[in-house]
Amino acid sequence: MKDYEHLYINGEWVAPIDSKPPLEVIDSATEEVMACVAQGGTSDTNAAVAAARAAFESWSQTPVDVRAKYLRDIGAGLTARFSEIAEVISGEVGSPKAFAEMVQAGLSVGDWETYASLIETYEWEQTHGNSLIVKEPIGVVGAITPWNYPLYLIVCKVGPALAAGCTVVLKPASLTPLNAIILTEVIHEAGLPAGVFNLVIGSGSEVGTALATHPDVDMVSLTGSGPVGAQVSKDAADTVKRVGLELGGKSANVILDDADPAAIAMGAVFGCMLNSGQTCSALTRVLIPRSREQEFLDAIVAEASQLTLVDPHATLDDPMALFHGLGPMVSRSQQETVRGYIQKGIDEGATLLVGGPEQPEEFEKGFYVKPTVFAGVTPDMTIAQEEIFGPVLSIMTYEDDDDAVRIANGTVFGLGGAVQSADVERAKAVAKRMRTGQVDINGAAFNTTAPFGGYKQSGNTRERGVFGLEEFLETKSLQLP
């Protein structure tokens, strides 16, 4: 076990001003303490904001090529610590080693080059009539990030914010702060000017609130739950700062009646179960045509039955481990929440086909939840409406395309979605009717430069690529004689 006794403020590792007990970081598989981490509070947040505010004028005027070099140096530093990052996230989150390497660490190290290249080609000024339209950094950004993809979702905020010329105060999830410490060590080694990036680990109720209410914070960017997003918006209202929210989802995977059951089964299961279901855009509702219900049920159950619970630290020989091996939930609390939803599904009359709420027999320790599949789910059931954030798949039936769209749109969320069909044009037509931020058609590949964000209560921001960069920019109009 290692202790981390400092926060990172104004280019230095400093002891917290506020006297608080350290946070224990728990290994999700062993339930043992991985590390103890210093916890900051309001005074530490204020100090970090002051440092970021003081650094903003110089950093915002730093030439693009210099900012791009810093971004590339950070990316190189993370690449050098790739294995360590994957190992840490396997413990903090419970992501199996193959998934931690390919996704958790892999995405996190690559995006720095993306943003470096982007700002070198971005059109910072445009002429419209007699006006010069100028894009400028918004200012000091408070970044509040979650635990499910902890480093990648930090990069989705910190990367474009720094690229845009903003300064940053990062508050990572308290459950998973170790990856953020690694990033901060890399940033320090890269020589980023003092105050441009600051790290304050602490509770959302204190550090998050301090960022949202602080008059010198120009923007808060949050990825988290709906209730937390609503509270941040309220906290930020008095200072009328920009608030970017990437929130929850209850995404529908619409299987049209011309699809091949064997072809869609793996995607239907993996789309829900990736990262043990701890994914905001997970395809947790599968909608199948009533006319072919049994065919699709049989194919999905056969695929789901191949899922296994695994030790996230183990190296598995199975080449399909990325798709079939699931780790534990991030915490005891999350495990209990997901099990409660499974029991709720049973109590409300859904048909349990795979899994259940009990502790898996093969794992006496660890925050494991059995991968679970329900059929006979109706749109009014709790498991069809609320975000579970665990390995729970709800299968629902529909009558025709119009009915499928109605059910898909029948929640307060609108983050992700998918459509499967033998006819791509038909799939596109259905996808365009879905009130959601992104729709995958026939298992199309994940695009890290496409905009990511939601409709309705799934949020109001777009991250990744040029769309993510522009979230951190202001638009100024200069009228020229």
Q: How many domains does the chain have?
A: 2
Rounded Cα gap, residues 407 and 436, in angstroms: 13
Q: Provide the pLDDT for residue 322.
A: 74
What is the pLDDT, as a whole number, of residue 319? 67
398 contacts 288 by C-beta, under 8 angstroms: yes
Residues 193 and 235 in one domain: yes
Q: Is residue 83 part of a domain?
A: yes
Q: What is the pLDDT of residue 323?
A: 78
Helices (H), 356-414: 382-385, 401-408
177: in domain: yes
DSSP per-residue codes, 297-318? HHHHHHHHTT-EE--TTSPP--
Same domain, 442 and 466: no
Apex 417 CA angle, 220 and 373, nearest 5: 110
Which positions ≥6 away from 93 have C-beta within 8 Å?
28, 100, 104, 147, 148, 150, 176, 275, 278, 327, 330
Q: Parallel, antiparallel, or unpaired for β 440-441 and 285-289? A: unpaired
Pair (41, 119) in one structural domain = yes
Distance, in Å, from the CA atom of 428 to the CA atom of 341, rounded to the nearest integer, reads 33
Helices and strands of the chain, counted as H and E runs? 17, 22
Cα 158-159-164 angle, rounded to 5 deg: 95
Q: Same domain for 171 and 291?
A: no
Give pLDDT tens digits along the chain (481 positions): 688 999 999 999 999 998 899 999 999 999 999 999 999 999 999 999 999 999 999 999 999 999 999 999 999 999 999 999 999 999 999 999 999 999 999 999 989 999 999 999 999 999 999 999 999 999 999 999 999 999 999 999 999 999 999 999 999 999 999 999 999 999 999 999 999 999 999 999 999 999 999 999 999 999 999 999 999 999 999 999 999 999 999 999 999 999 999 999 999 999 999 999 999 999 999 999 999 999 999 999 999 999 999 999 998 777 677 778 999 999 999 999 999 999 999 999 999 999 999 999 999 999 999 999 999 999 999 999 999 999 999 999 999 999 999 999 999 999 999 999 999 999 999 999 999 999 999 999 989 999 999 999 999 999 999 999 999 999 999 999 9
CB 370 within 8 A of CB 392: no
| pLDDT reported for residue 1 | 66
> Which letter does DSSP use for residue 35 in this model?
E
Tell me how far apart the alpha carbons of residues 390 and 413 are, in angstroms, rounded to a whole number: 17
**292 inside domain:** yes
Sign of CA dihedral 403, 406, 407, 408: positive
Residue type, 365: K
> Considering the domain boundaries, does residue 172 fall inside one?
yes
Domain around 106: 2-247+459-479
Q: Which of 428, 27, 459, 66 is nearest to 224 (CA)?
A: 459
Distance CA 171, CA 146 (A): 9
Residue with tokens 């598995």: 316
Q: Which residues are catalytic?
A: 246, 280
Q: Which residue has the tokens 């789901």?
A: 304
- Provide the CATH number for the domain around residue 189: 3.40.605.10
Q: Looking at the structure, do residues 238 and 281 belong to the same domain, yes or no?
A: no
Question: Are the C-beta atoms of residues 313 and 87 closer than 8 Å to each other?
Answer: yes
Residues 96 and 220 in one domain: yes
Co-location of 243 and 345 in the same domain: no
101: in domain: yes
**Domain membership flag for residue 454:** no
**304 and 442 share a domain?**
yes
282 and 191, same domain (yes or no): no
Residue 417: partners with Cβ closer than 8 Å, 6 or more residues away: 251, 252, 253, 254, 283, 408, 431, 434, 436, 438, 439, 440
Question: Do 24 and 147 fall within a single domain?
Answer: yes
Distance between CA atoms of 384 and 376, rounded to whole angstroms? 11
Given a contact cutoff of 8 angstroms between Cβ atoms, the answer to whether 442 and 266 are in contact is no
**What pLDDT, on a 0 to 100 scale, did the predictor assign at position 60?**
98
Strands 140-144 and 167-171: parallel
CATH code of the domain in which 318 resides: 3.40.309.10
CB atoms within 10 A of CB 92: 28
Beta strand residue intervals within 138-211, DSSP E: 140-144, 167-171, 197-199
Distance CA 115, CA 101 (A): 21
For residues 183 and 258, membership in a common domain is answered with no
Distance separating alpha carbons of residues 221 and 474, to the nearest angstrom: 15
CB-based contact 50:62 (threshold 8 Å): no
Question: How far apart (Å, rounded) are the C-alpha atoms in residues 38 and 363?
Answer: 31
pTM of the predicted protein model? 0.97
Q: Does residue 48 lie within any of the structural domains? A: yes
Are both 181 and 51 inside the same structural domain?
yes
DSSP 243-259: EEEE-----EEEE-TTS
